[in-house]
Each structure stands twice: as structure tokens, then as C-alpha cells.
Structure 1
Amino acid sequence: MRNTLLFIFCLSLFWSCQNSGHQKSEKLNVVTTTTMITDLVKNIGRDSVQVQGLMGSGVDPHLYKASEGDVSKLTQADIVFYSGLHLEGKLVDVFEKMGRRGNTIALAEILEEKDLISSTEFSGSYDPHIWFDISYWKRITKNLTNQLSKQDPESADYYKQNEKVYLKKLDALEKKVKEIISELPEEKRILVTAHDAFSYFGKAYGFNVIGLQGLSTATEAGVKDVRRLSKLIIDNEVKAIFIESSVPRRTIEALQESVKSKGFNVEIGGTLYSDALGNSGTEEGTYIGMFKYNVRTIIDALK
């Protein structure tokens, strides 16, 4: 009887450990740049990794500069994930130096050139905002899983299991996004935002996207940009324009005033998350929650 009880106890303990997650003596030390990548590492690595994100909610990766503390974190990391395609423009020199170590990974560079949107601002460069096409984010997920597995082969099966779960969630997100967008007639799918971050979104989901600033928020909008967009908004009777959480709202407010001065009223439809997720611990603080929020905000304002 005692042996039976002991066996049952050991079995229950075994299953408890299995269900609590992957157990290992040391967690992989992962450093990330953007909040989108930090969220992805948390979903794939879960309790096998210790992730440190350099950028928080509302931080603009185009303008972010590494502090001494950041450099220390980067050099001590087992593996570093950044987006690439010059999104983190002011960190490029740091990453190029670290790239020689072989553990600094630009996740977006797994995408083929034919899939990327060329930049008219920077010769030979591409639009880095690839996370706004969910099908691309699935590829990024697979790339990250493979890179974690190479660095930590002991946990490869665990990462693959988490990848499978997360890809199903992304499938569900893609279905939901298309369902919400179908509420808006095609002729009303004109999206005007603070900077040109949503081109992949437009290409994937059928929107004409215009940013007041260019691909990088380091590029200031000029008077001609404001006049050009004012005319487009009036000619197409666009109901709403959008500010972004990581870009000062003054540019969009200037555009709104320009449109009003010409006798047409355009509303500010809300704040979209572009280069950073929302606050940690909120639904918008996750990639999936951010995407749903953005789409719902856009559709409700433009309907």
C-alpha cells in the first residue's frame, strides 16, 4: 500500500513538473530591442529564458540611443535579437561590432528582398515595419525559434512546442483582423498616420496608407507634405486621421488644422501603436492585443 501511495505521489509530482513548464538549471540570457521582439521571445522562450528588453512602451526605435547600461547588457547576453533593416538606426554601429560574435541576430533579414517594400528615402534600404503583416511575423517567429534552438539545443523541443502554440494564435489573429476589416467598404480604406509605418499593413489588408512623415521619424514633415495630405483628405472625404504612440502628436494636429482651414472637418480617430507596443501588463502590451486594438480603432473611426 505504501509503495502504491509513493508511486502515485511521484507520478503526480512528475506531471506537476511537466505542466509547470520546461525546467532547466540556467535560463538563457536574451536581450531584445523593440517591445514586439521582447513579446515574441516571451511567447517562445517562456520559462527557459531571461529576457531583457532595451526599449519600453512609447519608445521610438528610430531615435533610440544605447546607454552604457544597454551596452553592458548586450555584451553579457547569450543571444541578442533586434529587428534590423535599419529600424534601430542609431544602434547599427553597436550591432555591426557585435555581429562578429555570431550571437547578434537581425530577425527581419530572414525575409527575401521581393517581399520587402523599397524605401524612397534611403537608396538600397527597405521599409523596416514588417510586423504589420501577420504572415511576415509568422516567419519571424520561426526564425526566432530556430535561433533560440541553435543557442540552446537542450530546450529545442520546448521552443518548438511553444512556437506551434503561438503560430495558431497568429492564425486566429489573422482571421479576426480580416473579419473586422470587412466591415469597412474598400473605397473608405484610406489610412493617414503620423509617419509611414503601415505600408505592410496596407499591402496585406487592402488599405491606401499615407504617412505625414517618412519611414523614419527622424525625417521632419514639411509644409508641402501637410498641403499635399490636406488635399488628399478633402478630395477623398477621409473621416479620420491617426496619431501614433511613439510619435509626437503635434504633426497630426497641424495636419488637422490645415484641413479645417480649408473648410473640411477631419477627426483624430485615436492613437495607434506603430513602433512600440502598449504598456506592459495590458492587452495592447502584446503583439496580438496591439494588432487587434489598432484594427478596431481604424475601422471604427473610418466607418
Structure 2
Amino acid sequence: MKKIITILIVALALFSCKKGVKNENQKLNVVTTTSMITDLVKNIGGDAIEVQGLMGSGIDPHLYKASEGDVTKLVNADVIFYNGLHLEGKLVEVFEKMEHQDIKTIAIGESLDKSTLIGSDYFASNYDPHIWFNVENWKLITTFITNQLVTIDPKNANVFKANSETYLAKLSKLEDRLQKTIATLAKEKRILVTAHDAFSYFGQAYEFNVVGLQGLSTATEAGVQDVQKLANFIIEKEVKAIFVESSVPKRTIEALQAAVKSKDHEVAIGGTLFSDALGNIGSKEGTYIGMFEYNVNTIVNALK
């Protein structure tokens, strides 16, 4: 990481000398970190902007390290949208180095009212950064990003506003579908056990008891006592299924399943959920809306 910081400092120094006034016909060059943010910015910006995402499918933002290729993208950006709340832990230093350059860095998590965030004594920001798992949060962030783009690129303001209205309507329809699907699952069965604690906003919004084997960050590892404690919880609550996450190695959940079995009980692996990254580009799960709907269908079908 120190090597990347050094490269970034040199690149920024050279780039600040070359960067001039943007031609009116040039598109705004936007760089995003996680795939959820990339998808959102593309929906708002449409063809009016160029968007480059740093993190693709299956990438864990907690452990992500900037490559030399990423540095090139970052120093050529007009604006960078990132989650903040220390989700991109390894990139914090990089963004700090860019604060005094002619590159705007915007943490979307900072747009939310702190009173609506879920607190945590075990995460660097003291807030759970997995804010996208409440559709209402994503609506607020859609409006926030739209306003930022309008300010930065006013000539395309009408495009951004129209695209934003269209996307907000899609998010409202998504929420209606999610509520109807979740309503088919009895409340006493709404216990979601996953590889790490990424679904607390989901649990709060849709009345699930959420338990992660690891903490909020995948940088922490579950110990034997954590596995045994959760295995006892699964048996006590008669949980039917537990879930792997696409960006976390499945061995942790397999170890939990084995611990339950060692106590003469059975728990199924209900499927793989998308937590810190979307699915493959071009697939339904490669969009925020498709990912959320897939996750809810997978959870409800496995727990019924």
C-alpha cells in the first residue's frame, strides 16, 4: 500500500501540472469504488458521463488495495464517489492524499443523517457502512448524487434529474415487491445468519434478526468460540438455513454448518447472497435492483 501511495503522490504532482479546463464537449469522467455505487451513478448519469468502477463482482471492499492501474483512473477523474464510513479501508489514505488536488472526492455515506445509521463499537467509523441494504437509504443517496452531478456538470442537469426520477420510481417498485415477498415468511422464521455482519440495515428495515459469523469488516476473523456460540444459537432457534456471501470465502459458513452437525443437528446452506459486491456485469444480479430482489427471494425461499 505504501508503494501505491508513493506512486499516487508522484502521479498527482505530474497531473496537477497538466490538467486544464475541460472542453465543453467532453464528458465528465467519474470514478466509483464499489459495484453498487458504479451501478447507481451509471443510472443517474446515463450517456452524459463516463463511469469507471474500481471494484467488480465478488470484490471485498474491506480488503481492497489500489493497484497501479487504479491510480491512473483516480488521477484522471473529475470526481470520485466512494461509500465512506471506512468501508474502503485500504483506500482511505489514497483519498486523503487527493483532498488538496483538483479532484473532487465524495463519500456518499456522509450524506445520510447520522441518527439513521447503525452504530458499532467495533468498526473504525463507529457506524455500519453497509448502507445500501435499506432501499430508503439508496433513494436518499440517489438524490444526493444527482445534486452533486448537477452542481459539477450543470449543462447536463436536465439529464441527471430525469434519469434520477426514473430510477427513484424503479426503487419504489422494488421496495413494494420486496415487502410482498418478505410478507410470505412468518416473522418467527426471519433469522438471517450470514458469513459477516453486512445485513443489519436489511434486518432493521424488513424485520429480520441478523447474525453474522464475522464482524462488520471481513478483516476480522471468527474464532472457534464464535463458531460454537453461533452453532448453539442456530440449534436453539431452529434455523433452517444459513448463507454464504459472494465476496467472502465459503469455508467460514461450511465450518459453522459442520459445528451444527457435530451437535447432532442439521442446517442447510440456503444459497449465496450478494453482500459487498454485485453479481457479474450483464446478469440480473449485476444491478442493484436485481441483486436485492435475488437476495430476498433466496432468503425467503430457504427459510420457509
Q: TM-score, normalised by structure 2?
A: 0.91
Q: Which SS does the other structure have where 1:63 is aligned?
A: coil
Match of 2:13 in 1: none
Match of 1:113 in 2: 114
* Cα deviation digits, residues 12-65 of structure 1 (max 9, x gap): xxxxxxxxxxxx832111100000000001100000011110000000000000
Shift of 1:125: 1.6
Q: Which SS does the other structure have where 2:229 is aligned?
A: helix
Match of 1:218 in 2: 219
Match of 1:15 in 2: none
Q: Which SS does the other structure have where 1:50 is aligned?
A: strand
Correspondences of 1:243-254 after superposition (within 5 Å): 243-254=244-255
Match of 2:200 in 1: 199
Q: Which SS does the other structure have where 2:99 is aligned?
A: helix
| Residue identity in the other structure for 2:50 | Q
Report how many aligned residue pairs link the two structures.
280
Match of 2:269 in 1: 268
| Residue identity in the other structure for 1:79 | V
Match of 1:282 in 2: 283
What do you get for the CA RMSD once the two structures are aligned? 1.0
Indicate whether 1:71 and 2:77 are aligned. Answer: no
* Cα deviation digits, residues 266-302 of structure 1 (max 9, x gap): 0000000000000000000000000000000000000
* Cα deviation digits, residues 55-88 of structure 1 (max 9, x gap): 0000000000001111121111011000000000
Rounded to whole Å, the distance in 1 between the matches of 2:51 and 2:203 is 31
Rounded to whole Å, the distance in 2 between the matches of 1:184 and 1:221 is 29
| Residue identity in the other structure for 2:258 | E
Q: Which of structures 1 and 2 has the bigger CA Rg?
A: 1
Query: Which stretches of structure 1, 4 residues or more, deviate above 3 A after TM superposition?
Result: none
Rounded to whole Å, the distance in 1 between the matches of 2:261 and 2:31 is 46
Shift of 1:119: 1.3
Q: Which SS does the other structure have where 2:97 is aligned?
A: helix
Closer, same or farther: CA 279–116 of 1 in aligned 2, 3 Å: same
Correspondences of 1:115-134 after superposition (within 5 Å): 115-122=116-123, 125-134=126-135
| Residue identity in the other structure for 1:146 | N
Closer, same or farther: CA 32–124 of 1 in aligned 2, 3 Å: closer
Match of 2:88 in 1: 88
Match of 1:42 in 2: 42
Indicate whether 1:135 and 2:136 are aligned. Answer: yes
Shift of 1:110: 0.5
Shift of 1:217: 0.3
| Residue identity in the other structure for 2:247 | S
Per mean C-alpha deviation after superposition, the further-off stretch among 184-193 and 114-123 is 114-123
| Residue identity in the other structure for 1:271 | T
Per mean C-alpha deviation after superposition, the further-off stretch among 192-201 and 63-72 is 63-72
Q: Which SS does the other structure have where 1:105 is aligned?
A: strand
Rounded to whole Å, the distance in 2 between the matches of 1:62 and 1:36 is 14
Rounded to whole Å, the distance in 2 between the matches of 1:278 and 1:174 is 20
| Residue identity in the other structure for 2:211 | I
Per mean C-alpha deviation after superposition, the further-off stretch among 30-39 and 65-74 is 65-74
Match of 1:29 in 2: 29
Rounded to whole Å, the distance in 2 between the matches of 1:210 and 1:291 is 18
Closer, same or farther: CA 60–178 of 1 in aligned 2, 3 Å: same
Rounded to whole Å, the distance in 2 between the matches of 1:229 and 1:245 is 21
Rounded to whole Å, the distance in 2 between the matches of 1:194 and 1:37 is 22
Rounded to whole Å, the distance in 2 between the matches of 1:95 and 1:55 is 15
Q: Which SS does the other structure have where 1:85 is aligned?
A: coil
Rounded to whole Å, the distance in 1 between the matches of 2:210 and 2:131 is 14
Which runs of 5 or more residues in structure 1 are unaligned?
Answer: 1-23
Match of 2:51 in 1: 51
Rounded to whole Å, the distance in 2 between the matches of 1:125 and 1:160 is 33
Rounded to whole Å, the distance in 1 between the matches of 2:55 and 2:296 is 23
Shift of 1:151: 1.0
Match of 2:165 in 1: 164
Which runs of 5 or more residues in structure 2 are unaligned?
Answer: 1-23
* Cα deviation digits, residues 143-181 of structure 1 (max 9, x gap): 111111111000011100100000000000001000000
